[in-house]
Amino acid sequence: MRITRKIFNGWAVLLLCASVLLLMGASGDSTGQRFDRIGHNLMCTCGCGQILLECNHVGCTVSDGMRKELRLALDRGGSDDVVLAGFVAKYGPTVLASPTTTGFNRVAWIMPIVIFIAALVAVVLVVRAWKRRSPTPPSDSAGPASGELDEFRRRAREETSL
């Protein structure tokens, strides 16, 4: 009897753990997670230049109002794209934390890469040009004669000897 109880209790615990894990995985995307995700894709329009959910101005009425609007839009049940489109329609495209990848906004994504590659190519070309440049041999008239060098060395030894 004890052995069957232990086996039954073991299976019951295993079944309970499996069902809890299954229910946790099936919970889906809650409104709180959507609020965080969409709120981090929007900018506060008070002029602080911060993400909507991270605007830290004390008593910022703009971010408070926008958060309430976001909560209402999510309660209405619209998709993420519809909610973002509503904010863009009301506040303009500057409300988005990152530019869209359509139309002229593609330039904002492409230009940093293009500028980096162009700068890298320019550096490589300049370094190659410097390497190709042959050093100019010293001319005899440019520096002191060997007799003068010997005189300078002798004076340096005399002045630095103790």
The per-residue DSSP string of 91-118 comes to H-GGGBSS--SSGGGHHHHHHHHHHHHH
- DSSP 3-state of 43: strand
Domain boundaries, the chain: 29-98, 103-132
Does the predicted TM-score (pTM) go above 0.75? no
- Per residue of the chain (162 residues), give pLDDT as tens: 565 555 556 556 556 555 554 554 444 456 678 888 888 889 988 878 888 888 887 778 888 888 899 998 888 887 888 888 898 899 888 888 887 777 777 888 889 999 999 999 999 999 999 998 877 766 655 556 677 888 888 999 999 976
DSSP 126: H
CATH class of 29-98: mainly alpha
